[in-house]
Chain A
Amino acid sequence: MKPPPFEYHAPRDLGEALDVLAGAGARGKVLAGGQSLIPIMNMRLASPEHLVDINRLHELDTVEETAGGVRVGALARHSRVERLRAHPLLGQALRLVAHPVIRNRGTVVGSLVHADPAAELPAVLAVLDGSVRLATAGGTRDVAARDFFTGPLESAVQAGELAVSAYFPNTRPRSGTAFREVARRHGDYALAGVCAVVTLDEDLRVERARVACIGVGAVPVVVDVPCERRPAATVGWDEAVRAVREATDPEGDIHASAAYRRHLVGVLAEQALKEAARAAV
């Protein structure tokens, strides 16, 4: 299990990185934390001709808290973002990503670009309506979460583009969040998972509830769930659970059948919604 040979590039700044990526085109790949790319290369499932290592681009090792949300630079590693407690839902999700040692290397932006259908962070970006900023030598563009995840392990990043940051908007006032998942073993990718955001009105009645589900579709499945405008503690989530099960289209594999995943995602949605509603009060 050794990675195939490749041409290695270690740019010192963003401009140089973008030039190298432009030159490499479709034959190039970005190396961030390597916690997904290197296993894939070790297993010979990928053999990029050019690897552009961004680990020296310290200018991208940033976490900026703005009035509206948190912007995470491409070199900000999971463990650092988790420690900074910059965003409650992002923190809840990060604790479920792999193991602490993997999180010492893995980057938040890398997890988004990798776009595993069972990964936690894409769901967080999706449920919050966040976005990813992509750069080429020619300029930058922001891609909204709903357009960013295009398929299993596929994102909107084009050849020659570098994802420079991701933006996670804050939740509205009187909101609570939660992330629930079930994995076969601690730290594994989940069989299914649900993150929820519940927002209350001024009288502390549920105004809006939204979930994003993982492991049950090609991309994170976002559902604005129907909810009764009632005090958080008294809301029944049966209809929400039904809506979630209807919106998802899980596949079966050796780990779990499609029917089990569909059942599970409903149970997790109810738990996550209840927890988020409690946290919102």
Chain B
Amino acid sequence: MQPYEVTLVVNGTARRVRVPARRLLSDCLRHDLGLTGTHVGCEHGVCGCCTVLLDGEPVRSCLTFAVTVDGREITTVEGLAGEDGMSPVQRAFAECHGLQCGFCTPGFLCTVTALLRDNPAPTDEEVLEGVSGNLCRCTGYQNIVKSVHRAAELIAEEG
């Protein structure tokens, strides 16, 4: 059970790591690559805070082995901001108080980034369905839903 050489393109940069096959992508990002923005709550797919983008699609990093995604592109919360600062989704969450303790936030931000790319003007119902796999123990979700709509506005305004 020798370690595997794995290359992940994380937030646009190719990163090489040597990991055992059983290394979860979440642990690989956090421990091997030092990207602790991706949070880990339940490790069985329920809470959603470990959600990252795999070739643009949101997935649970706690339910993915790093070896499986060798060579693929990963975007974590650290990669959402652009050169001129936070992304519209991040700014909307800050503006609308879409977070309190912030533990769930990386997962919401990644999920919502993909949601708005696929559906730039979601209804309330579509927002709820879209974030239904992410748990938040603080906000009561109202401000998260507001943040998603606000992010949609910001993205539309900024083209």
CB closest chain-B residue, reference A3:
B22
**CA A53 – CA B68 in complex, angstroms?**
7
A39-B45, A100-B129 known; A2 vs B60 contact (CB < 8 Å)? no
Interfacial chain B residues near A187, Cβ < 8 Å: 132-133
Judged by a CB distance under 8 angstroms, whether A260 is at the interface is no
Judged by a CB distance under 8 angstroms, whether B74 is at the interface is no
Chain B residues bordering chain A, tally (CB within 8 A): 28
**CA A6 – CA B20 in complex, angstroms?**
9
Judged by a CB distance under 8 angstroms, whether A257 is at the interface is no
Interfacial chain B residues near A203, Cβ < 8 Å: none
**CA A34 – CA B24 in complex, angstroms?**
11
Decide if A35 touches B63 in the complex (CB within 8 Å).
Answer: yes
Decide if B60 touches A6 in the complex (CB within 8 Å).
Answer: no
Say which one of B8-16, B51-59, B145-153 lies at the interface with A.
Answer: B51-59
Judged by a CB distance under 8 angstroms, whether A186 is at the interface is yes
Considering only residues 30-89 of chain A, those with a C-beta below 8 Å from chain B are 31, 34-35, 38-39, 41-43, 51, 53, 55, 79
Decide if B22 touches A6 in the complex (CB within 8 Å).
Answer: yes
- Closest Cβ–Cβ distance, residue B133 to chain A (whole Å): 3
**CA A99 – CA B129 in complex, angstroms?**
8
Decide if B133 touches A105 in the complex (CB within 8 Å).
Answer: no
Decide if A51 touches B64 in the complex (CB within 8 Å).
Answer: no
Number of A-B contacts (CB under 8 A): 88
Interfacial chain B residues near A41, Cβ < 8 Å: 22
Interfacial chain A residues near B58, Cβ < 8 Å: 100-101, 104
Decide if B64 touches A3 in the complex (CB within 8 Å).
Answer: no
Interfacial chain A residues near B73, Cβ < 8 Å: none
Main DSSP-derived SS at the A contact region: loop
- Closest Cβ–Cβ distance, residue A259 to chain B (whole Å): 28
Can you list 10 A-B contacts (CB < 8 A)? A2-B27, A5-B1, A6-B22, A8-B4, A34-B63, A34-B65, A43-B44, A98-B45, A100-B129, A102-B133
**CA A14 – CA B83 in complex, angstroms?**
44
- Closest Cβ–Cβ distance, residue B48 to chain A (whole Å): 7
- Closest Cβ–Cβ distance, residue B45 to chain A (whole Å): 6
Decide if B21 touches A42 in the complex (CB within 8 Å).
Answer: no
**CA A39 – CA B46 in complex, angstroms?**
10
A8-B4, A8-B67, A101-B59 known; A51 vs B21 contact (CB < 8 Å)? yes
Decide if B64 touches A101 in the complex (CB within 8 Å).
Answer: no
A39-B44, A102-B60 known; A2 vs B24 contact (CB < 8 Å)? yes
**CA A55 – CA B27 in complex, angstroms?**
20
Considering only residues 99-126 of chain A, those with a C-beta below 8 Å from chain B are 99-102, 104-105
Judged by a CB distance under 8 angstroms, whether A10 is at the interface is yes
Interfacial chain A residues near B130, Cβ < 8 Å: 100
- Closest Cβ–Cβ distance, residue B51 to chain A (whole Å): 6
Decide if B44 touches A1 in the complex (CB within 8 Å).
Answer: yes
Interfacial chain B residues near A34, Cβ < 8 Å: 63-65, 68
**CA A72 – CA B133 in complex, angstroms?**
25
Considering only residues 74-93 of chain B, those with a C-beta below 8 Å from chain A are none
Judged by a CB distance under 8 angstroms, whether B144 is at the interface is no
A3-B24, A34-B63, A42-B62 known; A99 vs B133 contact (CB < 8 Å)? yes
Decide if B22 touches A105 in the complex (CB within 8 Å).
Answer: no
Judged by a CB distance under 8 angstroms, whether B38 is at the interface is no
Interfacial chain B residues near A55, Cβ < 8 Å: 68
Decide if A35 touches B45 in the complex (CB within 8 Å).
Answer: yes
Decide if B1 touches A7 in the complex (CB within 8 Å).
Answer: yes
**CA A10 – CA B27 in complex, angstroms?**
21
Judged by a CB distance under 8 angstroms, whether B43 is at the interface is yes
Judged by a CB distance under 8 angstroms, whether A4 is at the interface is yes
Judged by a CB distance under 8 angstroms, whether B111 is at the interface is yes
CB closest chain-A residue, reference B42:
A1
